[in-house]
Amino acid sequence: MSNTPKKPAPGNDGGSNSMWGGRFAAGPSAIMQAINASIGFDQKLWRQDIAGSRAHCRMLVAQGIIPAQDGAEILRGLDLVEGEIAAGSFTFDAVLEDIHMNVEARLKALIGEPAGRLHTARSRNDQVATDFRLWVRDTTDALMGEIRKLQRALVDKAGAHAGTVMPGYTHLQAAQPVTFGHHLLAYAEMLDRDFGRFRDARARMNENPLGAGALAGTTYPIDRQATAKALGFDRPMANSLDAVSDRDFALEFLSAGAICAVHLSRLAEEITLWMNPQFGFVGLSDAFSTGSSMMPQKRNPDAAELVRGKTGRMIGDLTTLLIALKGLPLTYSKDMQEDKEPVFDAAETLHLGLVATAGMIGDMKVNAEAMRKAASAGFTTATDLADWLVQALGIAFRHAHEITGKAVRLAEEKNCELKDLPLAELQKIEPRITADLLTFVTVEQAVTRRSSEGGTAPERVRAAVTAMRARIEKES
């Protein structure tokens, strides 16, 4: 299939358009054709265009609007066109503007006169709305599948690292120890909401615009329930003006996609940090990293950087369509032809991002020792020390906080961890402190004891892995 539409030679104005040129004496100028044609990108809609035409044709026959024999010819011809496009032997022609007229013109060339009846009771306005909805719906299904795959990759890794201790951060400063499994499951949760956003958008978009005509409905006795059913839509759209001018389904797709991309980007940023030798928390194999052409020692997390970098495009795609639509009066305006490229770009970009991220998570080697070491640096168990004072000695938290501050200062002076502070020195700060406190302030204790609901304790992580697996399997 050729992706470059044929363009007329500069200065050659061609003949008038064979599909709508009845009242035109001359054809469009070359520049008019160049700005008008969408076939360069909307050829992606060919399957949906043919499916829509089949459903429309069958309905026209069933309603007695066109003769059965012509209907049969049209269906036969559509099969032929479909075969040609699938085989890559179809020539897309910019003179015919878009996918709708390319398919119809070829149908005419293949079956002759009966082709002219297909567009009865239909306009390109309801046709393109239908094709595009079908495409976005099918793509939503595919992306939801990829989100589930990435969630599975995260859950598998989380299960393997339910007890692996790493520093948890706030302000990108080590705050409290957490488990790596818990950290990964945070992303699995974000993705679960992304899945839900696509699912909700899908349910809203699954209505049939076909039969709205150019804008006002049609004088023919069409059956919109029948075409809705044939195309897997839940029902016809209720208002013909809305049916041809609404693009919220694309906006919802782009917003769900942009939010999901932002989640991937945050994870990608973390992978980039974790890969940095100064963290050294994870490593990626040759399959997911690249070398430098100049510095032989380097291993770069390019895939993660690109997942992060491409997020800008996703946000741009959403912004593009929001702006394209904001000033449009009802109903269709040609501006709306600009709806497709951002959606196609976002779909491809998000797909890549999801697959590449799942690949990196599966590939990732975890350096538990480096994580543990970083987790115990920076007095990350200071809160636990304060908690011990509260729980064992009944000291008020504010006062315990002050005592802990002194203990931290002592550890700083001695350049040791809290768990290694000499008991005698601690007792100078607070005489009731016992040796029990020192076993309390290890990073392992810190995570094990954070077993509140939704907390980082290994037992909680294991339960969360099981729960997330069940959620994924229940709705895949």
* The one segment of 124-132, 266-274, 279-287, 400-408 that binds ligand ARG by CB under 6 A: 124-132
Q: Are 463 and 186 in contact (CB under 8 A)?
A: no
Q: Residues 283, 364: contact at Cβ < 8 Å?
A: yes
**Closer CB to ligand ARG, 47 or 462, in the complex:** 47
Using CB under 6 A as the binding rule, the residues of this chain from 335 to 374 that contact ligand ARG are 336-337
Residue in 2, 292, 451, 476 annotated catalytic: 292
> Is the CA virtual torsion 208, 39, 16, 105 positive or negative?
negative
Is residue 311 packed enough to be buried (19+ CB in 10 Å), middle (13-18) or exposed (0-12)?
buried
Among positions 203-232, residues that touch ligand ARG (CB under 6 A) are none
d(CA 408, CA 378): 9
292 is catalytic: yes
CA atoms within 13 A on the CB side of 58: 17
Closer to ligand ARG at the Cβ: 42 or 270?
Answer: 42
Contact 366, 281 (CB under 8 A): yes
How many residues in the shown chain lie near ligand ARG by CB under 6 A? 10
Helix (H) or strand (E) holding 221, with range, is none
Residue number, 98 or 270, with CB nearest to ligand ARG: 98
Report how far apart, in Å, the C-alpha atoms of 394 and of each of 57, 345, 398, 400 are.
80, 60, 12, 9
One character per residue 409-438, x = contact with ligand ARG (rule: CB under 6 A) = ------------------------------
- The answer to whether 433 and 391 are in contact (CB under 8 A) is no
Identified binder of ligand ARG from the candidate list 128, 153, 191, 212, rule CB under 6 A: 128
Residue 171 annotated as catalytic = yes
Q: Does residue 376 interact with ligand ARG by CB under 6 A?
A: no
Cα 401 to Cα 429: distance, rounded to the nearest angstrom: 12
Query: Would you say 166 or 336 has its CB closer to ligand ARG?
Result: 336
Measured from the CB of residue 22, what is the shortest distance to ligand ARG in angstroms?
15
Q: Give the one residue of 124, 197, 224, 263 binding ligand ARG; rule: CB under 6 A.
A: 124
In the complex with ligand ARG, the residue whose CB is nearer, 45 or 307, is 45
Does the protein bind ligand ARG through residue 443 (CB under 6 A)?
no
Among 33, 38, 265, 448, binds ligand ARG (CB under 6 A): 38
Taking the C-alpha atoms of residue 308 and residue 314, their distance in angstroms, rounded to an integer, is 11
Binding span for ligand ARG by CB under 6 A among 334-342, 363-371, 390-398, 425-433: 334-342
Does 33 sit near ligand ARG (CB under 6 A)?
A: no
Least separation in angstroms between CB 20 and ligand ARG: 8
CA distance 375 to 380: 7
Least CB distance to ligand ARG at residue 96 (A): 10
- The Cα 278–Cα 374 span in angstroms is 10
Binder among 17, 125, 265, 404 for ligand ARG (CB under 6 A): 125
CA–CA dist 159, 155 (Å, integer): 6
Does 17 help bind ligand ARG (rule: CB under 6 A)? no
Report CA torsion sign: 130, 136, 138, 141.
Answer: negative
Reading the block at residue 1, the tokens are 């299939």
Tell me which stretch binds ligand ARG (CB under 6 A): 154-162, 166-174, 331-339, 422-430.
331-339
Catalytic residues: 171, 292
Residues binding ligand ARG (CB under 6 A): 38, 42, 98, 124-125, 128, 332, 334, 336-337
